[in-house]
Each structure stands twice: as C-alpha cells, then as structure tokens.
C-alpha cells in the first residue's frame, strides 16, 4: 500500500514514512492509493469475529507489510482492549459509547495505535543501527533522529496522546494546551504523566497553541534538529484505526436487529464532528464494503461543512467557542479526505452525507431533556449528535409521509457516537442535569497526582527559545 499526498506535489510513501512524517512535504494530507475492498463473504465472517482479529484484518492492508503480522496483531489487540458498547437511548436512537478507554475519549483508539506503530518503527531502527555499520544517507531523516510528537490540544487530544505514548521508546511528546481552558480532569490527564511526555501551559487560546505547532512544522531550522511529527488526525496512523469502531458498532447492530433472512435496518450514523477525521474514517469503512447507512455530521456553531452542503460554497472562518469545544474548528482538516473518497463529486456527497448545526442553547437543553426523559447522561458533543439525529430522523419520516408509504419506525434508526465521558465537561453537564457526575474509578487515581507543566508565552519565539534551550 502506498500513500499519495492530496497536495499532489510529493512522492508516494509507504505507511511507515506516512506515520513518521505525519504530513507530506507539500503540506498535503496522505491518502491511501487504493481503498481495500472486502468481499461479501468476508463481511459475513466479520459479523461474529472477535474485536482483536477484526481490527487486525481491517488494518493489515493499510499497514501494507511495514509491520510484521505478529507485531500488528499485538498492536491491534492492545489498541482496542476496552469496550465499545451500543446503548439504547430511545426507540430509534442508540449511543455508541466510545469513552471507555483510559482517558475516557474516543481519541484513545487512534492515539494508542499510532504510538505503538511509532514505537515499533523506532525499535526496528535501533535494531538496524546496531546491526549495520553502513552510514545512512543524509536525506533519510526518518531513520536517524528520535521522533518528537508535537500536539496542540483543546483538551481531549492531549490526554489521549499523553497516555498512548507514555513510555514509548524513541518518541518524545510535547503537548501545548491553553491555560485555564481545559477541564480539571483533562488537565491532570496531560500534566501528570512524566517520562517522555512534556506539557506546555500556554498563556493564550487553543488557536494560539495550534498556530505555534503549525509554525514549528514549517520551521526548517527546528526540523533540522528534531524529527517533528503530528499526532492529530491528519496522521494516517491516528486517522485510519478510527474505522474500527464503525465495525464494532455494526457487529452489535447486526446481532440485535438481524432477522432470519439476514436482513436488518440501515444503521444511520451521526458523528459529532470538528476536524472530520472520525466521520471520514467511517466513510472509509463504508467505501471498503461495510454496509453502513447514511452519515450525518453533527456540528456546533462551527458550520463550514453544514453550509457547504447547502450552498456548495466552502467558507472557512475563525473558530467560534462553544460548550462542545473539541469541535470548535473553523477549517476542518480532514474534509479534503471526504471529498477524495467521493471523487470530488458534489451530488454524490450530498446523497452520502447530511449535516446539521446545533447551537449551545439546544445542546444544553438536549442534555437536560434526555437525562429527564431517558435517564441517559450525554456529554455536550454527544448532545449535539443527539439533536442532529432527531432532526435527521424527522426529515426521513417527513419524506416518507409525502411519498404515502407506510411509515415503519424500525427502518428509521440512527446511532450517535458518544465521543467523551460527561465527567470531562462537568460545568455544562452538571448544570443541565442538576446533579453532580460521579468520577469513574478508572480516573480517580489522577486526583492524587500533582500537575507538572511549563508556562509558556503565547508566541512562537517563546516556544522556539524553549526548544533550543534544550528544555
Ligand atoms: C476530537 C473530538 C471530536 C471531533 O472529532 P473530529 O475527528 O475532529 O471530527 C468530537 N468530540 C470529542 C469529545 C472530541 O474529543
């Protein structure tokens, strides 16, 4: 498997180079040269395959031989060693809970997979350095220096990356987060790891953190000294494994709804979207033959894609702050990959994807209502998805009424992706439901830990100076 740059101005690379460098030299995103296609017999077998074996079969073609099978099996098994339950909320809407990983965020899957791949490549490099006296050519940067993962976070990415990369040899992680703008649990998750993880507390906004990271990737001088890579979803090793939970959701859907003839209602999927990496991974799974229903991108006030689908005009803007802050993105980086999957065909796009923009008032009201009516606690991102799912299902029902067909509730169902545990957004959720949320046992240990971070002014010069000082 080769990867080409969507910038169309860089050489093709294998999975290993794409994972180590993150982005192509022309700053384009990497995209697989062919999307693997599963046969009907394979799909049938996937219905009951165990999670680890399924993960291995899905990821193997993408890794394209750069990791041996036994190691890839191990990486897959570790990546997904927690639950992804599909929980019923209402008759028509179920929640795929993606927050049972170590940092209570769906980003755990991508971060764990990517970190283990980089760890594997780093060990492989060490072994080859040890065995051969041949001097590496100077342009093969990827095999000479340790990798430095640089990541800006509004909260969730940082924790998942810190946890996923902790103790991985040959990889250092630097996390930039905006001071006072992440929740207490999120801050503990990214500042208490130690070892190869460093947290920089930036005196500014998430946009400031992001700007510093972007400038660092452009800085030839810094790249000369460090092997910089990104752990955002632009990196194929973080983006592609997100396909897995669509497979896991579908397995549970089939087990629940399949009739004696093997038929089941379409599984429509509503994804709370920011950079569109997650939903785009789901669309890859569908493109490889997984029988998924319609996709709905649930957005907050940051509605570039929602507007694009109705106007065909793509107008990026500065990120608007909302209560679902992991989706506060004004220029979604992965949307170009969705266009690529659908071969830049706008009419195919509008048939495959819908999008709704949900404001903060409705988001909070949805958390309150679903708690009261259905006894289910949504986090703000899940609430955006739930509200969008209701609008989408109502639109299906209306279309069907107009066509005079018998309305059958079973054929109009959707799953929402619950991307974070509500305890990570306590202020918003507790106010909406009028209750405190219990901290899950799996993160209680954090409360006894001490935050360690380095304060940094919100400008690139300060960052570069800190890097150059040798930290
Ligand atoms: C990152 C994140 C999202 C958005 O995912 P994208 O892949 O950027 O679209 C949604 N919800 C939560 C809780 C997140 O952390």
Counting Cα atoms < 13 Å in the Cβ hemisphere of 222 gives 24
Binding site membership of 105 for ligand 1 (Cβ less than 6 Å): yes
User: Which are the catalytic amino acids?
Assistant: 107
Residue-level pLDDT at 353: 97
Mutate to test the pocket of ligand 1, among 324, 326, 329, 418 (most ligand atoms within 8 A of CB): 326
CA dist 403 → 350, 351, 394, 407, 408 (Å): 20, 18, 14, 10, 13
Question: pTM score, two decimals?
Answer: 0.93
CB atoms closer than 10 angstroms to residue 96: 27
Binding site membership of 239 for ligand 1 (Cβ less than 6 Å): no
Residue-level pLDDT at 33: 97
User: Do 137 and 143 touch, CB atoms closer than 8 A?
Assistant: no
Binding site membership of 349 for ligand 1 (Cβ less than 6 Å): no
Mutate to test the pocket of ligand 1, among 419, 421, 422, 429 (most ligand atoms within 8 A of CB): 419
Residue-level pLDDT at 227: 87
Average pLDDT, the chain: 92
Residue-level pLDDT at 411: 64
- Tell which atom from ligand 1 comes closest to the C-alpha of 276: 9
- Distance separating alpha carbons of residues 454 and 471, to the nearest angstrom: 10
User: Do 305 and 332 touch, CB atoms closer than 8 A?
Assistant: yes
Residue-level pLDDT at 470: 66
Residue 77 region by backbone torsions, left for phi larger than 0, else alpha for psi between -120 and 50, else beta: alpha
Give me the phi and psi of 298, to 5 degrees please: -95, 120
Binding site membership of 116 for ligand 1 (Cβ less than 6 Å): no
Low-confidence stretches of the chain (pLDDT < 50) are: 132-142, 406-407, 409-410
Q: Which residues have a Cβ under 8 Å from the Cβ of 278 and sit 6 or more positions away?
A: 106, 233, 242, 271, 417, 419
């Amino acid at each position: 498997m080769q990867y080409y740059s969507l910038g169309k101005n860089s050489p093709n690379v294998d999975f290993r180079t794409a994972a180590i460098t993150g982005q192509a030299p022309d700053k384009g995103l990497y995209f697989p040269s062919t999307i693997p296609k599963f046969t009907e017999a394979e799909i049938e077998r996937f219905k009951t395959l165990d999670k680890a074996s399924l993960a291995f079969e899905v990821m193997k073609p993408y890794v394209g031989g750069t990791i041996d099978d036994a190691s890839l099996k191990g990486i897959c098994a570790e990546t997904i060693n927690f639950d992804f339950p599909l929980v019923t909320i209402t008759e028509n809407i179920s929640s795929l809970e993606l927050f049972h990983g170590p940092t209570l965020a769906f980003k755990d899957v991508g971060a764990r997979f990517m970190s283990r791949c980089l760890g594997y490549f780093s060990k492989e490099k060490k072994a080859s350095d040890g065995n051969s006296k041949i001097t590496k050519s100077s342009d093969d940067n990827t095999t000479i220096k340790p990798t430095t993962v640089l990541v800006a976070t509004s909260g969730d990415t940082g924790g998942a990356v810190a946890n996923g990369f902790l103790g991985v040899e040959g990889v250092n992680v630097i996390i930039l987060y905006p001071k006072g703008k992440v929740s207490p649990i999120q801050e503990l998750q990214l500042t208490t790891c130690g070892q190869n993880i460093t947290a920089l507390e930036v005196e500014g906004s998430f946009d400031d953190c992001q700007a510093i990271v972007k400038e660092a990737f452009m800085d030839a001088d810094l790249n000369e000294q460090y092997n910089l890579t990104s752990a955002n979803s632009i990196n194929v090793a973080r983006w592609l494994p997100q396909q897995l939970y669509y497979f896991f959701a579908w397995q549970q859907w089939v087990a629940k709804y399949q009739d004696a003839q093997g038929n089941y209602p379409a599984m429509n999927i509503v994804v709370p979207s920011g950079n569109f990496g997650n939903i785009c991974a789901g669309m890859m799974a569908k493109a490889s033959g997984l029988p998924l229903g319609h996709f709905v991108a649930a957005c907050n006030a940051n509605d570039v894609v929602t507007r694009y689908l109705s106007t065909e005009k793509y107008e990026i803007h500065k990120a608007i702050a909302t209560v679902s802050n992991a989706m506060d993105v004004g220029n979604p980086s992965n949307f170009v990959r969705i266009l690529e999957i659908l071969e830049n065909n706008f009419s195919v796009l509008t048939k495959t994807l819908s999008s709704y923009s949900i404001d903060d008032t409705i988001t909070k009201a949805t958390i309150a209502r679903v708690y009261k009516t259905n006894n289910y606690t949504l986090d703000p991102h899940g609430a955006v998805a739930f509200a969008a799912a209701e609008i989408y299902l109502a639109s299906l029902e209306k279309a069907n009424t107009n066509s005079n067909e018998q309305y059958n509730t079973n054929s109009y169902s959707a799953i929402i992706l619950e991307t974070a545990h509500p305890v990570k957004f306590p202020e918003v959720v507790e106010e909406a439901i009028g209750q405190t949320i219990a901290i899950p046992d799996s993160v209680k240990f954090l409360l006894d830990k001490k935050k360690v971070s380095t304060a940094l002014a919100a400008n690139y010069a300060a960052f570069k100076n800190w890097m150059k000082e040798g930290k």
